[in-house]
Amino acid sequence: MKIEFTVFADTIDELASAIVKAISQLAGVTPGAGVAASVNIRVGERQPPKKGEAAISKIISLCERPGGETFGVITNRIRSASDLELRKLIAELVMSGHLREAATYHPRNGKEFMRYQSTGKKG
Protein backbone atom coordinates (compact mmCIF):
# COMPACT_ATOMS: atom_id res chain seq x y z
CA MET A 1 0.00 0.00 0.00
CA LYS A 2 1.28 3.45 -0.84
CA ILE A 3 -0.03 6.63 0.78
CA GLU A 4 0.94 9.98 -0.66
CA PHE A 5 -0.11 13.47 0.40
CA THR A 6 0.42 16.69 -1.49
CA VAL A 7 -0.17 19.79 0.58
CA PHE A 8 -0.78 23.22 -0.91
CA ALA A 9 -0.69 26.04 1.64
CA ASP A 10 -0.49 29.81 1.49
CA THR A 11 0.00 30.40 5.20
CA ILE A 12 1.73 28.66 8.10
CA ASP A 13 -1.66 27.95 9.74
CA GLU A 14 -2.92 26.17 6.61
CA LEU A 15 0.34 24.22 6.44
CA ALA A 16 0.12 23.16 10.10
CA SER A 17 -3.48 21.99 9.79
CA ALA A 18 -2.66 20.04 6.60
CA ILE A 19 0.29 18.30 8.29
CA VAL A 20 -1.87 17.38 11.30
CA LYS A 21 -4.50 15.96 8.95
CA ALA A 22 -1.88 13.91 7.06
CA ILE A 23 -0.37 12.55 10.27
CA SER A 24 -3.78 11.65 11.70
CA GLN A 25 -4.59 9.70 8.53
CA LEU A 26 -1.28 7.85 8.80
CA ALA A 27 -1.87 7.08 12.50
CA GLY A 28 -4.50 4.49 11.63
CA VAL A 29 -2.02 2.47 9.54
CA THR A 30 -0.25 -0.45 11.22
CA PRO A 31 3.54 0.10 11.25
CA GLY A 32 5.55 -2.35 9.18
CA ALA A 33 2.51 -3.46 7.19
CA GLY A 34 4.30 -2.76 3.92
CA VAL A 35 3.09 0.84 3.80
CA ALA A 36 5.18 3.49 2.10
CA ALA A 37 4.13 7.01 3.00
CA SER A 38 5.34 10.33 1.73
CA VAL A 39 4.19 13.89 2.27
CA ASN A 40 4.93 16.55 -0.33
CA ILE A 41 4.69 20.04 1.10
CA ARG A 42 4.60 23.14 -1.04
CA VAL A 43 4.25 26.41 0.81
CA GLY A 44 3.17 29.50 -1.09
CA GLU A 45 1.86 27.57 -4.07
CA ARG A 46 -1.79 27.62 -4.86
CA GLN A 47 -3.90 24.86 -6.29
CA PRO A 48 -4.63 25.24 -9.98
CA PRO A 49 -7.77 27.34 -10.51
CA LYS A 50 -11.00 25.55 -11.27
CA LYS A 51 -12.41 25.88 -14.76
CA GLY A 52 -14.28 29.14 -15.08
CA GLU A 53 -12.73 30.88 -12.05
CA ALA A 54 -10.70 33.22 -14.24
CA ALA A 55 -13.77 34.07 -16.32
CA ILE A 56 -15.85 34.68 -13.18
CA SER A 57 -13.20 37.00 -11.79
CA LYS A 58 -12.99 38.87 -15.09
CA ILE A 59 -16.80 39.21 -15.34
CA ILE A 60 -17.02 40.66 -11.83
CA SER A 61 -14.16 43.09 -12.45
CA LEU A 62 -15.71 44.26 -15.73
CA CYS A 63 -19.07 44.85 -14.05
CA GLU A 64 -17.56 46.96 -11.25
CA ARG A 65 -17.49 49.99 -13.51
CA PRO A 66 -20.13 52.66 -12.91
CA GLY A 67 -23.25 51.67 -14.81
CA GLY A 68 -22.04 48.08 -15.23
CA GLU A 69 -21.58 46.38 -18.61
CA THR A 70 -23.74 44.74 -21.25
CA PHE A 71 -23.47 41.11 -22.31
CA GLY A 72 -21.95 42.19 -25.63
CA VAL A 73 -19.10 44.03 -23.94
CA ILE A 74 -18.48 41.08 -21.61
CA THR A 75 -18.28 38.63 -24.53
CA ASN A 76 -15.93 40.93 -26.43
CA ARG A 77 -13.58 41.26 -23.45
CA ILE A 78 -13.62 37.54 -22.53
CA ARG A 79 -12.96 35.76 -25.80
CA SER A 80 -11.59 32.59 -24.21
CA ALA A 81 -15.10 31.47 -23.19
CA SER A 82 -18.04 30.77 -25.49
CA ASP A 83 -21.27 32.76 -25.36
CA LEU A 84 -23.08 29.81 -23.80
CA GLU A 85 -20.46 29.42 -21.06
CA LEU A 86 -20.60 33.15 -20.32
CA ARG A 87 -24.40 33.11 -20.15
CA LYS A 88 -24.26 30.24 -17.64
CA LEU A 89 -21.59 31.97 -15.54
CA ILE A 90 -23.50 35.26 -15.53
CA ALA A 91 -26.72 33.49 -14.55
CA GLU A 92 -24.89 31.79 -11.66
CA LEU A 93 -23.43 35.13 -10.54
CA VAL A 94 -26.84 36.80 -10.66
CA MET A 95 -28.42 33.93 -8.68
CA SER A 96 -25.64 34.03 -6.06
CA GLY A 97 -25.98 37.80 -5.65
CA HIS A 98 -22.58 38.80 -7.04
CA LEU A 99 -24.14 40.62 -10.01
CA ARG A 100 -27.24 42.73 -10.35
CA GLU A 101 -29.19 42.51 -13.61
CA ALA A 102 -31.06 45.56 -14.89
CA ALA A 103 -33.07 46.04 -18.07
CA THR A 104 -32.22 49.27 -19.88
CA TYR A 105 -33.32 50.78 -23.17
CA HIS A 106 -31.21 52.09 -26.01
CA PRO A 107 -31.51 55.89 -26.16
CA ARG A 108 -32.11 56.06 -29.92
CA ASN A 109 -33.80 52.88 -31.12
CA GLY A 110 -35.57 51.97 -27.86
CA LYS A 111 -34.44 48.33 -27.83
CA GLU A 112 -34.27 46.68 -24.43
CA PHE A 113 -31.00 45.08 -23.29
CA MET A 114 -29.58 43.76 -20.04
CA ARG A 115 -26.88 45.52 -18.08
CA TYR A 116 -24.92 43.74 -15.33
CA GLN A 117 -23.38 45.49 -12.34
CA SER A 118 -21.28 44.09 -9.52
CA THR A 119 -22.87 44.15 -6.06
CA GLY A 120 -19.53 44.08 -4.24
CA LYS A 121 -20.34 40.78 -2.53
CA LYS A 122 -17.21 38.84 -1.57
CA GLY A 123 -16.78 35.07 -1.68
**CATH number, domain at 93?**
1.10.10.10
Higher per-residue pLDDT: 50 or 67? 67
In this prediction, residue 120 carries a pLDDT of 81
**pTM listed for this prediction:** 0.56
Check whether residue 25 and residue 61 sit in a common domain. no
Q: Is residue 19 part of a domain?
A: yes
In this prediction, residue 70 carries a pLDDT of 92
Q: Is residue 123 part of a domain?
A: no
Check whether residue 60 and residue 112 sit in a common domain. yes
Question: What Rg do the C-alpha atoms of the chain give, in angstroms?
Answer: 23
User: How does pLDDT run across 53-105, given as a tens digit for each residue?
Assistant: 788 888 999 999 888 899 999 999 988 888 898 999 999 899 989 999 999 89
**113, 103 contact by CB (below 8 A):** yes
Identify which of 17, 16, 40, 37 has the alpha carbon closest to the alpha carbon of residue 26: 37
In this prediction, residue 49 carries a pLDDT of 56
Residue 37 has pLDDT above 60, yes or no: no
Check whether residue 37 and residue 81 sit in a common domain. no
Domain that residue 16 falls in: 2-43
Check whether residue 69 and residue 92 sit in a common domain. yes
